[in-house]
Amino acid sequence: MPNVIHTKNLSKSYGKTPVLKNIDMTVEVGEFTAIMGPSGSGKSTLMNVLSTIDQFTGGEVWLDGQSLLDLKKKALRQFRQEQMGFIFQDYNLLDTLTVKENILLPLSLRKFATEEMEKRLASITHALNIEDILGKYPSEISGGQKQRTASARAMITKPAIVFADEPTGALDSRSATQLLEQLANLNGLTQTTILMVTHDIYAASYCRRVIFLRDGGIVNELYAGEQGQKAFYDRILETQSIMGGQAR
pLDDT for the residue numbered 214? 94
Say what the pLDDT of residue 62 is: 95
Q: What is the pLDDT of residues 159-198, one digit of tens each?
A: 989 999 999 988 999 999 999 999 998 898 888 999 999 9
Closest to 178 measured CA to CA, from 198, 151, 196, 157: 151
pLDDT of 64? 87
Report the chain (248 residues): mean pLDDT per 10 consecutive residues: 90 95 95 93 94 94 91 87 89 96 96 96 93 97 95 93 92 92 89 93 96 95 95 95 62
Would you state the pLDDT for residue 79? 86
Res 89: pLDDT: 86
Instruction: Please name each of the domains of the chain with its CATH number.
Output: 28-44+74-246 (3.40.50.300)
Q: What is the pLDDT of residue 36?
A: 95
Q: pLDDT at position 81, please? A: 86
Cα separations in angstroms, 127 against 92, 154, 195, 206, 208? 21, 13, 19, 17, 20
Q: Could you give the 3-state DSSP secondary structure of residue 87?
A: strand
Percent of the chain with pLDDT over 90: 79
139-164 residue pLDDT tens? 999 999 999 999 999 999 999 899 99
Please work out, in degrees rounded to the nearest 5, the angle formed at the alpha carbon of residue 83 by the alpha carbons of 78 and 89. 105
pLDDT recorded at residue 246: 46
The per-residue pLDDT for 51 is: 92
**pLDDT, position 102:** 97
Phi and psi angles of residue 104, each rounded to the nearest 5 degrees, phi first: -80, -10
Determine the angle formed by the axes of helices 99-109 and 143-155, rounding to 10 degrees: 20
How far apart are alpha carbons 164 and 87 in whole angstroms? 5
